[in-house]
Amino acid sequence: MRCVTALRSLALTTFLLTVAFPLFSQQAPDTFRWINFHSPKDQDTVVWVTRSLAVQDWTSIREIAVQYDAALVVTTNRANPQSTANAETFSVWSVSLTNHIVAPLIGGVNLRWLDWMRFADSAPQELAVIYDNCRECNPNTYFTAFHYDIAQHRWTARWIRGGQGVPLWSANTPPGIQWTQVYAAIAEPNGREFIATWSHFDYDNKKPSNDVVFRYDIDPSTRQERSLQLLKGDAEAMELRLCRAQDAVPDLQRGQDSPLCRELIKPILERKPVITPPANNHGQSAPPRVRH
């Protein structure tokens, strides 16, 4: 029954998928491809994924991508048949194409696909997304990227902690605090990219303000994910880099228009020569006295 429901729902979601999944400008790995639900040659994969997810909680399968022997699958779940489409939640799974093993990756609402990104030298590009944790609330927005793990033969998500990815933005401002948030994905000259976030907390002169700056990247020596809190000069340099956003990745930056950033990057005025006359100058002059 799950299989029939999934296949029938594919035609209804074709238009939505065209909107939700933009064309990527960067080149995908040669071993990666999106499944075409209408192609007869892909039906075996659709059926395999559907059966693998049969015991999970979902309403429809929205997307399937395949790399090597694992599928990256997006499902949606509607609480009841009367719910509107924008009330759905999503889940992303890694599904083995050899033994039906399923691993949940992330879940939430308002999934937005970004461009392909590269976080390590000579490494394949990865699929980047941002998403929210709730809809009818003050949401938190997160970032992650999906990549195929060759050692484990499965898809994994980057920088997952507490079930969520990199915390980019929060609409939950604590009372009595002015909270300024800035983030960006930054591209370095060598082609690697990383995520940086800056939170500035102002306590209305009750105590000194506080700045928290993080960098999320891949350690080039171990190829492991890192979450580094930057301090002192490193933090100040990153704050300036975030606000200038000269090397920021398009569609993955926010907060650069905040008063905090405008104050930080305001132009320094050069000192101009003084051309006004002194205060005791009355605009009069007298020729020198003639000596006899």
For 97-107, what is the mean pLDDT?
A: 97
pLDDT for the residue numbered 206:
82
Q: Rounded to two decimals, what is the model's pTM? A: 0.82
Q: On the CB side of 134, how many CA atoms lie within 13 Å of its CA?
A: 8
CA atoms of 35 and 37, how far apart (whole Å): 6
Residue 79: which pLDDT band, with cuts at 50, 70 and 90? confident
CA atoms of 17 and 90, how far apart (whole Å): 13
pLDDT for the residue numbered 11:
38
Of the candidates 71, 4, 61, 6, the residue with the CA atom closest to the CA atom of residue 32 = 71
Taking CA atoms, 146 is separated from 106, 156, 204, 243, in Å, by 10, 6, 41, 27
pLDDT for the residue numbered 86:
75
Average model confidence (pLDDT) across the chain: 86
Supply the DSSP symbol for 279: T
CA atoms of 214 and 143, how far apart (whole Å): 14
Q: On the CB side of 31, how many CA atoms lie within 13 Å of its CA?
A: 11
Name which of 15-19, 118-122, 241-245 the model is least confident about.
15-19
* Cα 169 versus chain centre, distance: 10
| Token duo for residue 266 | 């305001």
Count helices and strands in the chain by DSSP H and E runs? 4, 14
Of the candidates 162, 140, 33, 152, the residue with the CA atom closest to the CA atom of residue 103 = 152
Name which of 33-37, 104-108, 120-124, 195-199 the model is least confident about.
120-124
CA atoms of 240 and 228, how far apart (whole Å): 17
% the chain with pLDDT above 70 = 82
Of the candidates 147, 111, 110, the residue with the CA atom closest to the CA atom of residue 127 = 147
Rounded to the nearest 10°, the torsion over CA 21, 26, 30, 32 is -20
Taking CA atoms, 130 is separated from 60, 199, 211, 261, in Å, by 21, 18, 24, 23
- pLDDT over threshold 50, residue 33: yes
